[in-house]
Amino acid sequence: MASSVARQWISIPSELIGSIPRTNELLEARLRYESDLITIEDLRKIEKKAVEQTVVELDQLTGSMILTDGEQTKPSFLTYPIYDLVFERYTFDKQCFQITFSDECGAHVVQLDFTEARLSLKVDPSGRLLKDFIAINNRVLERFNVNEQKKIGVHVCPGGDLDCCHSFDIDYTLMLPDLFRLNLTNFYLQLSSEKNRIKVLKCIQKHMKPNHRIFIGVIDPINPAIETAEMVRDQILEAAQFIPIEQLGTTDDCGYSPFADDTSTSREVCYEKIKARIQGTKMAEQILNARS
């Protein structure tokens, strides 16, 4: 007799990492602004237009359910509009952590970029620097409750600026155990470009916690070749041997344009890669749910 209890469908979320290549109009506008040929007001108008265009294109060209501005208004993932103090040190008082806001931004999730995690092991092979980074980040993260931590994630990769890596030669598995000590839920892990994905997946399986969501990288932004949906599907099925489908997600290995002047990847190629990720994730989701 067939069971009358319907199985619950398990979705595999798919999210991108940060940056989308800036529009040609915006790239030109930044150069003109730096040469004092246009005003900051002129630049802001073009930035606003680029943001609107990016959101629409992500929706219509890729099928992505999670939309972002693609960092169109940011010069890079690394720099922020903060001025040095006299002694070149940043200080904070307790009031900094007591600020409240009346309106929420409505972000789906907040990603923390932690590309220095793997790099730290190149600077300090003992791992002491990495542990210090983890401890500092946890001092901030512990201020959020469990429900808030569910909306916070961290992204790690060996770098992808101008199609270059800074720490690809560092063994990924030396960094992951400490990474999973962060007090957050979502982990966006570069994986597609790894030479030995199985080794990395076994390490993830060993050290991940029951409350973690592991977004595996299934697209390599540095590789100009556009992945097929089938290639993405196969990477997910491979990962599902080590990560429960309930804790599995997909992402890109890195942002497509970490710095505003990075034109190594076109917007067209970027959108095709994201589209393949979305389609391949849906294909794997169908297969894995049919197996359960």
State residue 260's pLDDT score.
84
Which tens digits make up the pLDDT trace of 188-226? Answer: 999 999 999 999 999 999 999 999 999 999 999 999 999
Total Cβ atoms within 10 A of residue 105: 6
| 250 DSSP β-pair partners | 14, 216
State residue 170's pLDDT score.
85
Element (H, E) at 154: strand 152-156
Total Cβ atoms within 10 A of residue 106: 5
Rounded Cα distance between 257 and 54, Å, is 13
* N-term to C-term CA, the chain: 18
State residue 78's pLDDT score.
65
Rounded Cα distance between 47 and 30, Å, is 9
CATH architecture of residue range(s) 107-291: Alpha-Beta Barrel (3.20)
State residue 1's pLDDT score.
45
For tokens 């793997």, the residue is: 118
Rounded Cα distance between 265 and 270, Å, is 7
State residue 163's pLDDT score.
57
Residue ranges covered by each domain of the chain: 19-69, 107-291
> pTM of the predicted model, to two decimals?
0.88
Length of the chain in residues, anyone? 292
Rounded Cα distance between 47 and 64, Å, is 22
For tokens 């995690």, the residue is: 117
Query: By the 8 A CB rule, do 263 and 23 touch?
Result: no
Residues (pLDDT < 50) of the chain are: 1-2
Strand order in the sheet with 110-113: 110-113, 152-156, 186-189, 213-219, 248-252
Q: DSSP class of residue 83?
A: P
State residue 24's pLDDT score.
95
Query: By the 8 A CB rule, do 200 and 194 touch?
Result: yes
Q: Is 85 exposed, middle or buried (0-12, 13-18, 19+ CB in 10 A)?
A: exposed
